[in-house]
Structure formats: structure tokens, C-alpha cells
Amino acid sequence: MANNKKTKSSSKTNKNDASAKSNTNKTNLEKTNTSIKKPTVKLAISKYLQSRNNKIFIANWKMNKKFEDIKSFAFAFNHLLHKDKVIKKSNFLIGVAPTSLGLLPCAGMLKNNVVTVAQNISPEKNGAFTGQLSYDQIHEYNINYALVGHSEVRNYLNVTDKIINDTVKVLIQNNMRPVLCIGDTKEQYDEKKSEKTIALQLMNDLKGISESQIKNVIIAYEPVWAIGSTVASDEWIKNMTKFIRDTLKDMYDEKTAKEIHILYGGSVKVENSPSILSIKGIDGVLIGGASLDHQSFYEIICSCPEYKDIQKIILTKNGQKPLPKNNS
């Protein structure tokens, strides 16, 4: 009886052992599969991303949002990015430019590698400059990006090309990244002086910036006539981007010009971002009004072709069917 019991229990034990073993094998197999799968997906994505400039998305909040608004934006936006596997695997640079007062709340609350960007800073380190914010002060809080020469700053605060140039220089020298905004006014556009204006701005604002330094400058082409009104046509954006890159090629060299990030800004919205972000030579967007809402900013990011391509790589490698092309 006792023996029987023993035999029974030992056969049970054997069975259990066998099933445990097969489970272990299964787990090992699963492990092997995932460990094979993971680097393959990672490798495929990194190979894909290596062949292009990384995409950049910057929200320019201008003089909007109080503390509670920033808090609710950060909470919702963090959540959206946190659960997005595609963005996690991408090399997108996502930034938010709040008012000066919003810099620290943003830097503290925005997660998932979202960078905080200053809207306007002084090239002076400190001193008698009432009403200004210095590059050194934001740097102290690890805020390393700043818009420089936005048309509203050029217009309302009388910031000249010389100050813009000094600011670009000082940021670069301190391992920070300027987002240099350039753009033609409605008048210049009507008089067909857009290219001349842009060439002059590039030459003046980048004076003394070397080949190795220019790679850290992000250029945002924002036609003043398109800001907060009607987006420029894809054709216009394409031609102006090409003109900017050709000018940079003359100022530096072809390889350097190719690597410089050029963004478009001016009435970018969820409706027009898929086509803007598909324009050859466009490396991202600077968004005003449409970035105030976390969902619309997020959808603009998801509308770039790279997002769809990475999503396809992940799904294909995991044996799932990729979504149809027009499905976001």
C-alpha cells in the first residue's frame, strides 16, 4: 500500500517532472525566440534609422499655459508616450518650449526623454539685463535647447541678427542646441524676395559657426505669413528647404549640409502634417497652436513616415500583419 502510494506519488512526481521539464523547455524556447526576435527588431530599426536624419518635433507654446495646464498636459502626454512602443524604439527628438515661467515645471514633469526648450534667451551670462534670461541660467537646470530668432521675438523684442548670431555661438560653445528660426515676411514673399531674405539670415545668423559646430544647430524655416494663418504649400516648403540646404552647401559642404536638421513651422496641424513630414529634406516640425493640445501634438508625431515604417518593422518581425498604409 505504502509502496503503491509511493509508486503512485513517484509516478505523479515523474509526470510533474516531465511536464515541468517540458514547461522549462517551452520557457527556454520562448526565451530563445524572444532573444532572437528582440535584437532582430532592434537591429532592423537601427539599420533603418541610420539611413536618415532623426525626426524632430518641437511644441512652441508661446505665451500660453499656466501651471495647472502644464501639469495636465504633462500627465496626459507622458502617458501617451509611455505606452507607445514605436516612439520608444525611435530616435525622435521631442521638445516643448513653454514660457520662461514654465521651464522648470516642464523640465520636472515631462518624461520619456522629452526635452524642454527655452523660447528666447540672452547671449549674456549675467548682468544688468532686466527682463532677460541667460543661457547659463537654463543650462544650470539642464535645459539645453533654445529657440533663437523666432519671428515674434525678432518683431516684438527687436532682436537683431547680431544678437541672434551671438546667441547661436554661445549656445554651441556651451554644448547646448539652438533652434535657429528663419523666415520671410508677407511683404518679402509678395516681392519675391523670400530666397534673398533667407540667404541673408543664414549668413548673418551663422557667421563664425564652424563645420563641426553647425551640426548642432537645428534650423526652423517658418514663413512669417504662414504662422497662425494658412500653411505654406508642400511645393513651397520643398523648394525653400532645398534652397536652404543648397545655401548651407555653399557655406559648408555637401555632406555637412545634408546632416543639418531643417524643420518647417507655420500652421502645422494633424491634417497637414503627414504630407509636410513626407517632404524630401524636411526633418521635422515646429508647432505653435496645434501643440497646445497633447493629443494633437502626439498625432502629429505619429503622422511622420518613420513612425509608420518602424511600426511595420515591429509588426512584421513579430509575425503580425502590418496595418494598411493609411491607418494611423
Look up 150 and say whether it is catalytic. yes
Q: Which is nearer to ligand PGA, 149 or 288 (CB)?
A: 288
Can you say whether residue 118 is alpha, beta or left, with left for phi > 0 and alpha for psi between -120 and 50 degrees? beta
Residue count (the chain): 328
Residue 133: φ, ψ to 5°: -130, 130
* Minimum CB–partner distance for residue 301 and ligand PGA (Å): 14
In this structure, the number of other CB atoms found within 10 A of the CB of residue 14 comes to: 10
* Minimum CB–partner distance for residue 212 and ligand PGA (Å): 28
Residue nearest to ligand PGA (CB): 288
Alpha helices in 117-160 (DSSP H): 135-140, 151-156
Site for ligand PGA in 32-61 (CB under 6 A): 60
* Minimum CB–partner distance for residue 173 and ligand PGA (Å): 25
* Minimum CB–partner distance for residue 305 and ligand PGA (Å): 21
Q: Pick the catalytic residue: 30, 79, 152, 222?
A: 222
Q: Which is nearer to ligand PGA, 148 or 227 (CB)?
A: 227
Alpha helices in the chain (DSSP H): 2-50, 67-82, 85-89, 103-109, 135-140, 151-156, 161-173, 186-190, 194-205, 211-214, 234-251, 254-259, 273-276, 294-302, 305-317
Q: Pick the catalytic residue: 124, 139, 140, 150?
A: 150
Interface with ligand PGA by CB under 6 A: which range of 26-34, 120-128, 243-251, 260-268? Answer: 260-268
Q: Which is nearer to ligand PGA, 143 or 268 (CB)?
A: 268
* Minimum CB–partner distance for residue 187 and ligand PGA (Å): 18
Q: Which is nearer to ligand PGA, 222 or 299 (CB)?
A: 222
Q: Which is nearer to ligand PGA, 65 or 252 (CB)?
A: 65
Separation between Cα atoms, residue 117 and residue 144, nearest integer Å: 7
282 forms part of the interface with ligand PGA (CB under 6 A): no
* Minimum CB–partner distance for residue 148 and ligand PGA (Å): 12
Q: Which is nearer to ligand PGA, 159 or 257 (CB)?
A: 159
What would the x/- binding string for ligand PGA be over residues 210 to 239, using CB under 6 A? ------------x----xx-----------
Residue 185: φ, ψ to 5°: -80, 170
287 forms part of the interface with ligand PGA (CB under 6 A): yes
Look up 294 and say whether it is catalytic. no
Nearest CA among 318, 324, 308 for reference residue 48: 308
Nearest CA among 8, 93, 109, 25 for reference residue 59: 93
Using CB under 6 A, pick the residue from 80, 84, 245, 289 that binds ligand PGA: 289
CB 121 within 8 A of CB 131: no
Q: Which is nearer to ligand PGA, 1 or 63 (CB)?
A: 63
286 forms part of the interface with ligand PGA (CB under 6 A): yes
Contacts of 125 (CB under 8 A, 6+ apart): 134, 135, 136
* Minimum CB–partner distance for residue 218 and ligand PGA (Å): 13
Separation between Cα atoms, residue 125 and residue 136, nearest integer Å: 6
Separation between Cα atoms, residue 52 and residue 91, nearest integer Å: 11
Contact positions toward ligand PGA, by CB under 6 A? 60, 222, 227-228, 265-268, 286-290
Catalytic residue ranges: 150, 222
